[in-house]
Amino acid sequence: MFRRIGAAVVRHPVWTIVAWLIAAVAIVATAPGLPSNSDESSFLPKSYESIKAADLQQKAFPSAFTPSAIALYQRTDGGRLTAADQKDIARITTGLGEKKIDQVQKVVPGPPSKDGRYALTLVQMDSKNAGQPKQADAAKALRDDVKQLAKGTHLDVKLGGSAAQALDQQDSSKRGQALIGFGTFAIILVTLLIIFRAPILAVLPLVLIGLVSAVANGLIAYATKLFGLQANSSISSILIVVLFGVGTDYFLFLMFRYRERLRAGDEPKEAMVNAVGRVGEAIASAAGAVIIAFLALVLSTLGFLKQMGPALAIAVAATLVAGLTLIPAVVSLIGPKVFWPSKSWQKEPENARFAALGRAVRRRPALTAVASGLVLLALSAGTLGYKATFDLASGSMPKTKESMVVQDQMQKAYSAGAAAPTDVYLSSTDGKPLDKSGFAAYARKLGSVDGVAGVRMSQLNKEGTTADFTVTLKYEASTDRAIDAVGRVRDAAHAGAPAGTEALVGGMSSIYKDIDTAVNHDYRTVFPVAAVLIMVILGLLLRSVVAPWYLMASVGLGFGATLGATVWIFQKGEGHSGLMFMLPVIMYLFVVAIGTDYNILMIARLREEAREGREPREAAGMALRHAGPTVAAAGFILAATFATMMLAGNSLLTEMGFAVSFGIAIAAFVMAMFFTPSLTALIGHAAWWPGHGDRAEQDPAATDPTGPGRVPGARDASAHDPAGRGR
């Protein structure tokens, strides 16, 4: 099949390229705009209590005041606010309201801090557009206006709140994307120049993958609109790395085999057909594993991950099609000149280092397996200290951003939970008015919960059927202690609700509590489904029941080692309170799916060597000698491109960049190089049970010069490859 694809593309390279260009122009020109949403509550389905509480608030208290932006005032000298300062603050608050900024519904003064050093202006925006870009635009206008109004006073004013955080996150994301894009380009370009010493070959994948990127982004926009998915700004940064990292991997898989076939004596066009025929199955299987793993995210209950899964799957699918069509077409047109000016492609190097590694694995497979396994187990020990954090805002931008400064100062000046109070909504289940005489007792029950700083019955709807009890926690909304406390508040609210009533607990801590529950659900659902589907792909590729089990076990060890190392670096070393809550899910999918690429490439080459009549240990050694350079180059580039995410300047992408790049390095340089080949050598022929994937099979194309997929006039590859390594 893959040989036929290669032959068709090589016969018609110009038409293949033209088809890609037409498709790219049509998709880019007609694709809809990609929306963005940074509202944490939009991540959750309607079935969760925090979302039910938010819906109830909209119905019972449609005019309830929930600030989307907060202006925080303090004197420039840090002293207590004077009467003149208070007048200036009142003037500024009134002036902001008179500006009639789009999305702004109400501007009111907030309470002063207990020490008299801080004061607030609270700004309410249209709740229907929470998290949308238009509210970030409103925050920008507010920030400019409030600073303008404060000129000539002794006040220093900063704008915070959810809308301001969305604005700062947007700006941080743009900067991060630029740094990631530049870093990715530079790493790919420099590494390919070092490996091949050929400028054309170094630039070519950047140009071709850039075209694929435009197509993928257009298709993602179509899918987002068609299926009503949520979009998030962090996806764009991840998408850049996935497209160029994975695309370069497939480019390298193909180019190393193309060069090998040229060295074996193939004519250039036949060399490309043979390269696609031999490595195409490995590329397709590797891409299939990645796509399946990403699509498993649609089982997630979090909107962010539901969007990420299909988006990344589309990107990898587009990259796969390009790897089997566009790249072979372009390279077959250029021919061996793609390696200019280097002439090293004409003769095979000794690969002394990889040959030595291959001999070591062949001689001592048990020692190699045990040593590499112990390294993975030792690193995995760090997972025991893993903790999650749910502060998406501070995790997605530097602490120096204005909205983050406001958040930190408010936590010090006011009660830690005052910035995001918890609301308990007590509603009548029979539509009759609530008995007000029980409100005080109910409030006392809520106030007695450990972690609660204060409770007050703040409002009653006009029908008298729903009461809002505002609960102020002692802790900042996104902390572990606040999430634990809101769990206790829920228990008390449900148990203490009078007969004929129902209690729902809302607010940011309640949302984080539900996100925690959703993530734990995803661990139990997404992980096993992705693992089983990847095992099915491995089983189909290798025609084996045994091999997929130990391959997935090795990948599981790689995941544990990666998470453990990330815990040690960021929680123990950097002093982070925890890792971003979605990191293990993302890391599992990237490390398991993309890391499986290298296992697939190595095991496919090992099978190929075994089919030449080599014994299991010798086949493992030869596979490492010949596939080792490809895995090393691809693994280095992919790990380095993911590491560029650490340039973004926020903890979310820094943690993600380190974790995924470290996981890729483990997959390439520990699992694929040592653990997998040594285990396969130890297990021997039984690794391919119940099939006989390691037994020699007749290649009809090699014996029939008119066989399917043969380029007319091309020479038989086998005649020029006495070692049989292309077969």
338 plus 377 within the same structural domain: no
pLDDT higher than 50, residue 708: no
CB atoms within 10 A of CB 30: 10
Domain boundary among 163, 185, 217: 163
Least confident of 182-191, 196-205, 325-334, 372-381: 182-191
Whichever domain contains 497, its CATH number is: 3.30.70.1320
Let me know: does 275 contact 257? Beta carbons within 8 Å.
yes
Residue 233: pLDDT above 60?
no
Residue 671 counted as domain residue:
yes
User: Do 102 and 78 share a structural domain?
Assistant: yes
- The CATH number given to whatever domain includes residue 252 is 1.20.1640.10
Q: Is the pLDDT of residue 691 over 70?
A: no
Question: SS3 for 303-314, per residue?
Answer: HHHHHHHHHHHH
DSSP per-residue letters across 200-257: HHHHHHHHHHHHHHHHHHHHHHHHHHHHT----HHHHHHHHHHHHHHHHHHHHHHHHH
In-domain check, residue 409: no
Does residue 709 sit within a domain?
no
* Choice between 75 and 293, residue whose per-residue pLDDT is larger: 75
**Residue 318 main-chain phi, psi, to 5 deg:** -65, -40
| The pair of three-digit structure tokens given for residue 644, joined into one six-digit string | 């560029």
Rounded CA gap, 78 and 70, in Å?
Answer: 19
Q: Residue 91 CA to chain centroid, in angstroms?
A: 45
> In this predicted model, what pLDDT tens digit does every residue of 644-659 receive, in sequence order?
878 766 677 788 889 9
CA 501 to chain centre: 42
Distance CA 638, CA 597 (A): 11
Q: What is the DSSP letter of 669?
A: I
201 and 340 co-located in one domain: yes
Dihedral angle, C-alpha 342, 348, 351, 352, nearest 10 °: -110
Tens of pLDDT, residues 83-125: 999 999 999 999 999 988 988 888 999 888 888 999 999 998 8
Give the range among 133-137, 383-387, 663-667 with minimum mean pLDDT: 133-137
Judged on CB neighbours under 10 Å (0-12, 13-18, 19+), 221 is buried
Give yes or no for residue 545 having a pLDDT over 60: yes
Q: Which DSSP string corresponds to 528-593?
A: HHHHHHHHHHHHHHHTBSSHHHHHHHHHHHHHHHHHHHHIIIIIIIS--S-EETTHHHHHHHIIII
Together in a domain, 549 and 632: yes
pLDDT at 234 over 60: no
3-state secondary structure of 120: strand
pLDDT of the residue at 223: 81
pLDDT of residue 274: 92
Per the structure, the complete domain to which residue 101 belongs is given by 65-163
Indicate the residue type of 229: L
pLDDT-derived band at 206 (thresholds 50, 70, 90) equals confident
CA–CA gap between residue 250 and residue 634 (Å, rounded): 8
pLDDT of residue 415: 67
Tokens coding 8: 């068709």
pLDDT at 447: 93
- 388 domain-assigned: no
- Among 142-156, 287-301, 382-396, the range of highest mean pLDDT: 142-156
E-only strand ranges, 446-500: 452-460, 466-473
Last residue of a domain, one of 297, 332, 348: 348
Q: What Cα–Cα distance (Å) separates residue 410 from each residue in 40, 346, 378, 406, 416? A: 21, 67, 42, 6, 7
Point out the domain boundary residue: 163, 187, 217: 163
Q: Beta strands 119-125 and 104-109: pairing type?
A: antiparallel
d(C-alpha 603, C-alpha 627), whole Å: 9
Asked if 488 and 541 sit in the same domain, the reply is no
Band the pLDDT of 724: cuts 50, 70, 90: very low
Strand arrangement, sheet containing 501-506: 452-460, 466-473, 422-428, 501-506
Average pLDDT of span 557-573: 90
Residues sharing a CB contact under 8 Å with residue 73, sequence separation 6 or more, in sequence order:
81, 85, 89, 92, 118, 119, 120, 121, 150, 155, 156, 157
The mean pLDDT of the chain is 83
Tens of pLDDT, residue by residue over 319-351, are 999 999 999 999 999 989 998 887 776 676 665
Distance between CA atoms of residues 518 and 525, nearest Å? 10
Tokens of 492: 């008390």
Same structural domain for residues 621 and 636?
yes
Between residues 237 and 224, which one has the greater pLDDT?
A: 224
Lowest-confidence region among 134-143, 421-430, 458-467, 693-702: 693-702
Task: Tell me: do 272 and 151 sit in the same domain.
Answer: no
Domain count, the chain: 4
Containing H/E element for 28?
Answer: helix 13-30
DSSP code, position 113: P
pLDDT at residue number 642: 80
Tell me what pLDDT residue 497 has.
92
Burial of residue 194, with CB atoms counted within 10 A of its CB: 0-12 exposed, 13-18 middle, 19 or more buried: exposed
Closest CA to 230 of 126, 309, 139, 317: 309
pLDDT confidence of residue 231: 56
pLDDT of residue 713: 40
CA distance 480 to 509: 9
| Residue predicted with more confidence, 72 or 305 | 72
Q: Is residue 395 one of the residues assigned to a domain? A: no
Domain membership of residue 175 (yes or no) is: no
pLDDT tens for 128-185 read 777 677 888 899 999 999 999 999 999 999 998 888 888 877 766 666 667 777 877 8
pLDDT per residue as tens digits for the range 576-627: 778 888 788 878 777 777 777 888 888 888 888 888 888 889 989 988 888 8
Q: What was the pLDDT predicted at 269?
A: 92
Q: CB-hemisphere CA count at 13 Å for 255?
A: 30
- 7 with 128, same domain: the answer is no
Same domain, 341 and 355: no
Per-residue confidence (pLDDT) for residue 686, from 0 to 100: 86
pLDDT level of residue 477 (50, 70, 90 thresholds): confident
Q: Are 290 and 16 in contact (CB under 8 A)?
A: no
- Measured in whole angstroms, how far is the alpha carbon of residue 266 from the centre of its chain? 41
**616-643 helix and 595-610 helix, angle to the nearest 10 degrees:** 160
Could you tell me which residues come within 8 angstroms of residue 560 by beta carbon, excluding any fewer than 6 positions away? 376, 377, 379, 380, 383
Within-domain flag for 192? no
pLDDT of residue 329: 93
* CA 433 to each of CA 56, 350, 461, 492: distance values in angstroms, whole numbers, following the listed order: 16, 87, 10, 22
Together in a domain, 474 and 546: no
In a domain, 393, yes or no: no
Check whether residue 536 and residue 684 sit in a common domain. Answer: yes
Region 224-242 average pLDDT: 68
CATH code of the domain covering residue 132: 3.30.70.1430
Whole-number Cα distances in Å, 158 to 143, 251, 356, 531, 682:
7, 49, 62, 48, 65
Same-domain status, 562 and 677: yes
What is the structure's pLDDT at 111?
84
